Amino acid sequence: MNPHPTLPARAYQGAIGVALALAIAGSWLAIHAYGMFVFELSWRNWPFALLLAAVQCWLSVGVFIVCHDAMHGSLVPGRPKANSAIGTVLLALYAGFAWKQLRDAHFAHHKLAGRAGDPDFDEHHPDNFLRWYGTFFRRYFGWRSILFVHTVVGIYWLVLDIPMIQIVLLYGLPALASSLQLFYFGTFRPHRHMPGEDATAFADRHNTRSEDFGTIASLASCFHFGYHLEHHRRPDVPWWALPQARRAGVGRPDDIETDLTEKVPA
């Protein structure tokens, strides 16, 4: 078993990353535009509307994971300006997030994973989903996000006369549900403390674990972000190559030698 998965050449990896990013973000924007400007909600098409909302939730998770790869420079390797540009635009569209603020917070998470000072961790409630999510939400959804969402909703409702129920169902609900999905599968489950355990129960300093999901379930749950120990040990591996990293044994509890030092891309 080779604990060092071979990544494609930089140009090829970048081409795959950009193509997948275009597919995910393009589908996300297309469904949003259709849901707001074309679709007309009625009692007869509620099941279809709920299906649209579910797909949009999953795509929203994917958009954030694309931005996450951009933070690590694994979206377009060797092209920091391209990573920054893509991440800036998509994070702003996602929820009015600021690129540098989120990138800095994410690298603080990698440096202090599962310890006091980790912005993704609640050291006071390391096994309580609701309290930890509340802490997580307050830390990340600040005034910028609130202003952005209120502005978008105000324009759609008051200017474009889109029914509020349609805005809530096809814009608000998928966005909120995606934050829950990202938190549950990408933060809480990997870093939570089981009853009666503490950080010493984890494999190494990353204080995280990986799911045993198969590839399809892993993709559906959080774009392979459940392979979390693999990601922390190999942050240079893009989301779509994490299954390969898992098969290569990067996340084996006894395989600490595969760990790489995380650095903010130049």
Task: Report pLDDT digits (tens) over 108-124.
Answer: 999 999 999 999 999 99
pLDDT of residue 38: 96
Ramachandran region, residue 207 (left: φ > 0; alpha: ψ -120 to 50; beta: rest)? left
Please spell the DSSP secondary structure of the chain, one letter per residue: --SSPPPPPHHHHHHHHHHHHHHHHHHHHHHHHHHHHT----STTHHHHHHHHHHHHHHHHHHHHHHHHHHHT-SSTT-HHHHHHHHHHHHHHHHS--HHHHHHHHHHHHHTTTSTT-TT--TT-TT-HHHHHHHHHHHHS-HHHHHHHHHHHHIIIIIS---HHHHIIIIIHHHHHHHHHHHIIIIIHHHPPPTT--GGGSSSTT--------HHHHHHHHTTTT-HHHHHH-TTS-GGGHHHHHHTTTT-TT-GGG--------
pLDDT of residue 4: 65
Q: What angle do CA 62, 64, 70 make, to 5 degrees?
A: 110
pLDDT, mean of each 10-residue run, the chain (266 residues)? 68 95 98 96 95 98 98 96 97 94 96 93 94 93 91 97 97 96 96 75 86 96 96 96 90 52 45
Enter the pTM of the model: 0.90
pLDDT of residue 265: 47
Residue % of the chain over a pLDDT of 70? 90
